Structure 1
């Protein structure tokens, strides 16, 4: 991360991964998507907690509100972004967002599509700022999470630096 005084290294961005899955929350099967995000975000230099596994619906909103209150720099959710009637992650995320960052959500869908996953365009995931926390919704498959790490690893250092008040690099 850049943007700190006198070249001091900025502390690692704090991130939380939240997996949204009724069946994983009920112990029917193991969460396979959240750990992909955790591993990838750690490899990108973030201090990552989770995955925290929650049910669809209001538990998503509660987890996001708690994460924002706890001061996480980034929260990445996986799951609950599709067309199933229980998929409410975007609806739980939207009321918390002060400013949308649509390019991130667009890039996530475009990356999946470019990798031959036509259903990537069905993800309704959002990205935006909730106070000082960047919240990103990712589709709920391990493949979508691997693709998301590629996108997020390239932009999160700059996004967190900007959120912390950093300036644009001078050319």
Structure 2
């Protein structure tokens, strides 16, 4: 009986979670506003564009824009199977290779989810935390331990 209850409850938990929408916060969207005029689809970047400073440091096999971005319609991303998806579904591009993170993300273990237990929940997408062209976080240097007078005193044998 309890397994039947879990079977009914767990899907409803996922159904109440909304994924953060990306389009409102992407600067320069829609992309085709500028990219629609580029005829040369063989080059990775047109020269002297706002994107020429992007350095891909994701995975050695990902060496051009069109691994994730659709070549013909820059307002869309594309999956490995060629299916086109909206930028709001960009996490689907990520989970093709990062299945273990997807599992943890859906369970709320990886990433950030905000909202309430009984109300609507919002889950941040991969790109909310990871820069897609260079997703590895930089190394952080820990702050030194705080100075507590009683620790120094104890080290010197005093109380």
What TM-score, normalized to structure 2?
A: 0.24
Identify, as 1 or 2, the structure richer in helix: 1
What TM-score, normalized to structure 1?
A: 0.23
Q: Which has the larger radius of gyration?
A: 2
